[in-house]
Structure 1
Amino acid sequence: MELEELKRKKRNVWEVYPEEEIEKFSKIYSNFLSEAKTEREIVLKGEEVLKEKGFINIDDSINGEKLYKKIKNKSLLIIKKGEKSLKEGFNLVTAHIDSPRIDIKQNPLYEDTDIAFLETHYYGGIKKYQWVSIPLVLKGVIIDKNGKTININSEKDNIIFSIPDLLPHLARRQAEKKLSEAIEGENLNVLIGSKPGKDVKEDKVKNYILKYLNEKYGIIEEDFISSELSLVPYGEAKDIGFDKSLILGYGHDDRSCALTAFYAILDSELSEKWSLVYLIDKEEIGSEGNTSAQSMIFDEALLNFVEDYKELINIYTKSSVLSGDVNAAFDPNYKEVFEPKNSAYINNGVVMTKFTGRGGKYDSNDASAEFIGKVRNLFNENNVVWQTAELGKVDEGGGGTVALFFARKGMDVVDMGPAVLSMHAPFEIISKGDLYSTYHAYKVFLGKFK
């Protein structure tokens, strides 16, 4: 063989995939991303699409070829039966649909110096300073005193909020603090109004807000206790750059994996093995809770198709998983935290991450060479543009995914997703071409992996 044939070559997505296909898929993705900014909204919109495509809710019947299951309106399992029995195992792509945000506390509403605020508690790993002085919207649900569910979407009503920041003229002491301490969590209180109510002597603004909420939504102050309300960035996902080759949007981590997996299973043809996509909640806070990757609900759903748990465990050992999660794109402005030979690069395709974790591979799944070899060869045979990477330098930091929770069940698992700039910021950046490559990789895996 010639020397050049021995070397591994990087490929650019724009030089492999048709540009019209990249742009077409990116538009579909951006529209979904802009409309659905919380896990509840993603599940609701996802269910609408699944019904249109002929999928049947498992709670109604398990006899169809295309099925789905909602888990408490915050997670979604999608199933396409294959030519072979489930006993032969399945191919699964899983991704999380929660993203860093700012949640509203259970006793949030107060007034101070004729201004009304809601107290908050941030969710997931955020840089708190990035969330002040930007437009925010309120989304979620409130369960009122009668048990009625009230959906809140202030963006739809064009109602916008913001968290005030300290002016630089008086921020000398603030500027001397560590970046992580300059904005304290207890100071992330969101400004919601300043107009005084009539015919009241105290807390005039708070009372005005309470009256407004009661008239618009029919709620009282105590209803906040039984609510799940979140502040997320206002606005649609946008194409950026002179060439419009990148997408700026909220929640690319991990919806760039979740939505590509969603459309991959919709567009995939009948395969030998069963195809599954599992969109899950709570990854950003450690995958705890009954809508997370550690929940038994996944097992419960599949037990509908097998005789007992022993048989299910045997199926798991024959199954393969792509853990859809993003990796950090190499940022030339912060070269010092990356190891260039093992970093993910914009436009080099979907990123295969053999292991995550921290330091000496703690808290990670470390995919086997045999499994990676099979995935790699499958991608090469089907012209998938892909790359490999770790998450920064060995001792620089680290991060985790849901991969280890599925590996514990006996499945082969490897992390796979696009590279992201400004990860966990209110607005993150991905390449349109990498997004399409991720969709291509998932579709090939679901339909052809053996």
Structure 2
Amino acid sequence: MADNLTKKQAQDLSKKLMRKPKLVWDALSKTEQGKAMKFAEGYKSFLDNAKTERRAVAEAEKLALAAGFAPIGEAGDNGLVYKVWKNKCIIFARLGNRPVAEGLHIVASHIDSPRLDMKANPLYEDVDMAFFKTHYYGGIRKHQWFARPLALHGVAVNGKGESIDIRLGEDPNDPVFTVLDLLPHLARKLQAGKSLATAFEAERMNILLGSLPLGPEKTSDRFKLMAMNLLHEKYGLVEEDFLTAEIEAVPAGKAKDVGLDRSLIGAYGQDDRSCSYCAIQALMKLRKKPEFTGLAFLVDKEEIGSEGNTGAKSKFLETFIADLLELTGEGASARNIGSALMNSKALSGDVAPALDPDYQSVHEKNNAAKLGYGICMTKYTGSGGKSGASDAHAEHLGYVRKVFEDNKIVWQIGQLGKVDEGGGGTIAKFLAAHGMDVVDCGPPILGMHSPFEIGSKADMYMAFKAYSAFFEAG
């Protein structure tokens, strides 16, 4: 058969039968490239103001109010509603033409990211310096958190039951904080001869607060007293308030353009505030009333298994569906709630690991996402033999594929590294537990879980367009 084909016929057949990945920048017009760059500016601002789950909820709520959304109990007749739960997760809905019980189009993502949490009794002094003790949250590589500027964010509830907002290290006039690292000259036994997993000990990840004493030389704990006094002057805190506080250390500083061409974004928390931002922007900027009710669901606790009453395992989604059914007059019966969930189609908005040029050996290149090649569908995550995976059905993949192709979305498909190399999870399986069809779908990221993750402005823009198309699909 090969002998009977001309070169042109072979090229035409290859074009018809073979798949060729597309670079987003090649697919976008000059006008669209400009839109991608502009979209990135709003995204960077969101990252700067949403470094914790609480701040992400507050920032998302601001965007929603500006777009005409209202709390579901106070909604008008425009069909734009939202609900906040525990200040750590938020859900938005744009009512569609069809009854809620016939199903929704859901984009769900998480707004928590790996970080350092303060312990319940964090404050101590040693060698004439004051420190906070920490306990890391989520899957971090501990060495990446040493010797870098950190900011403190959180809330403390005092003895009167008042919530005190804490934010230190982000304003240009603020001090920053850090975890001390060992100089290479003395690291031979403690670090250099050990594996990376054991060389950097979690109990050494203490936040340096200062070195100025308060009081005369014989004053007890005067470095600790200095830190406590400054926190009391600024926030009215006493040491006992740490027992009822949530204080997080995150990388200080703003999201930055990366590269001579400014095509990339470097920032903390792009996993997974990238999908969260793209989802809410897509829902808020729909051009018309969708056929199915669109829902953007932003949750907490994904990085530690979606546990607790603000994670994807909670009842928040079902409760909000019940609210929608009441709002539309369908009735919040158990049957209607179940039908709405089981009839829904979902994208689990979570980032994919991008093929790293310097560490290609951990990827299987034929099935690895590439930076700049658009939003990535991930059929399954888990580990080894797909353990813990949702594993999307071919029919749902086909549906999403057609939506993307019909709307000229540049997309790719990938997986989380080589088989048996590692693994991970998303909230997809917790959505699937309701009976809905779901697939992971988000932009690829380099340096995932690091304090400075790298994403492509082209991929972020394409994620926004992909989620928009999904919300608008019939």
Distance in 2 (alpha carbons) for counterparts of 1:262 and 1:381: 22
The correspondence for 1:231, drawn from 249, 253, 257, is: 249
Match of 1:343 in 2: 368
Is 2:102–2:339's contact at 8 Å kept on the other side of the alignment? Answer: no
The correspondence for 1:15, drawn from 26, 29, 40, is: 26
Q: What aligned pairs does 1:91-240 form with structure 2 within 5 A after superposition?
A: 91-154=105-168, 155-156=170-171, 158-173=174-189, 174-199=191-216, 201-240=219-258
The correspondence for 1:90, drawn from 85, 89, 104, is: 104
1:14 maps to amino acid:
W
Match of 1:45 in 2: 59
Q: What aligned pairs does 1:206-285 form with structure 2 within 5 A after superposition?
A: 206-268=224-286, 269-285=288-304
Distance in 1 (alpha carbons) for counterparts of 2:302 and 2:234: 33
Distance in 2 (alpha carbons) for counterparts of 1:204 and 1:367: 59
1:254-313: per-residue Cα shift (whole Å, max 9, x none)?
011111111010111311100000000000000000000000111111112133112211
Match of 2:314 in 1: 295
Match of 1:27 in 2: 41
RMSD in angstroms over aligned alpha carbons? 1.2
1:64-122: per-residue Cα shift (whole Å, max 9, x none)?
51000001000000010001111211000000000000000110000111100000000
The correspondence for 2:358, drawn from 333, 336, 340, is: 333
Distance in 2 (alpha carbons) for counterparts of 1:363 and 1:162: 36
Aligned sequence identity (%): 46
Partner SS, residue 49 of structure 1: helix
Shift of 1:61: 4.5
Structure 2 vs 1, CA of residues 125 and 233 (structure 1 numbering), >3 Å: closer, same or farther?
same
Partner SS, residue 196 of structure 1: coil
Match of 1:317 in 2: 342
Q: Is 1:369 the counterpart of 2:405 in the alignment? A: no
Distance in 2 (alpha carbons) for counterparts of 1:46 and 1:391: 29
Q: Is 1:391 the counterpart of 2:416 in the alignment? A: yes
Distance in 2 (alpha carbons) for counterparts of 1:221 and 1:317: 49
Partner SS, residue 231 of structure 1: strand
Q: Is 1:419 the counterpart of 2:419 in the alignment? A: no
2:224 maps to amino acid:
K
Shift of 1:56: 1.2
Partner SS, residue 105 of structure 2: strand
Partner SS, residue 408 of structure 2: coil
Shift of 1:405: 0.4
Which moved further from structure 2: 83-92 or 125-134? 83-92
Distance in 2 (alpha carbons) for counterparts of 1:349 and 1:257: 13
Partner SS, residue 83 of structure 2: strand
Count matched residues.
Answer: 449
Q: Is 1:443 the counterpart of 2:468 in the alignment? A: yes
Q: What aligned pairs does 1:396-407 form with structure 2 within 5 A after superposition?
A: 396-407=421-432
Q: Kindly report structure 1 stretches of 4+ aligned residues shifted beyond 3 Å.
A: 59-64
Distance in 2 (alpha carbons) for counterparts of 1:57 and 1:303: 15
Shift of 1:447: 1.1
1:196-238: per-residue Cα shift (whole Å, max 9, x none)?
0025611111111111111111110000011110000011111
Is 2:264–2:457's contact at 8 Å kept on the other side of the alignment? Answer: yes
Is 1:56–1:64's contact at 8 Å kept on the other side of the alignment? Answer: no
1:432 maps to amino acid:
K
1:329-355: per-residue Cα shift (whole Å, max 9, x none)?
001211111101000001110000011
Distance in 1 (alpha carbons) for counterparts of 2:83 and 2:135: 30
1:195 maps to amino acid:
L
| Gap regions ≥5 residues in structure 2 | 1-11, 326-330
User: Scaled by the length of structure 2, what TM-score is found?
Assistant: 0.93
Is 1:13–1:385's contact at 8 Å kept on the other side of the alignment? Answer: yes
Distance in 2 (alpha carbons) for counterparts of 1:348 and 1:283: 26
Partner SS, residue 332 of structure 1: coil
Which moved further from structure 2: 2-11 or 76-85? 2-11
1:430 maps to amino acid:
G
Is 2:266–2:454's contact at 8 Å kept on the other side of the alignment? Answer: yes
Which moved further from structure 2: 248-257 or 298-307? 298-307
Which moved further from structure 2: 49-58 or 243-252? 49-58
1:320-375: per-residue Cα shift (whole Å, max 9, x none)?
00000011100121111110100000111000001110111110111111111111
2:313 maps to amino acid:
Q
Shift of 1:62: 7.9
2:144 maps to amino acid:
Q
Distance in 1 (alpha carbons) for counterparts of 2:347 and 2:108: 7
Which moved further from structure 2: 264-273 or 120-129? 264-273
Shift of 1:159: 2.4
Distance in 2 (alpha carbons) for counterparts of 1:346 and 1:256: 14
Distance in 2 (alpha carbons) for counterparts of 1:19 and 1:139: 35
| Gap regions ≥5 residues in structure 1 | none
1:190 maps to amino acid:
I
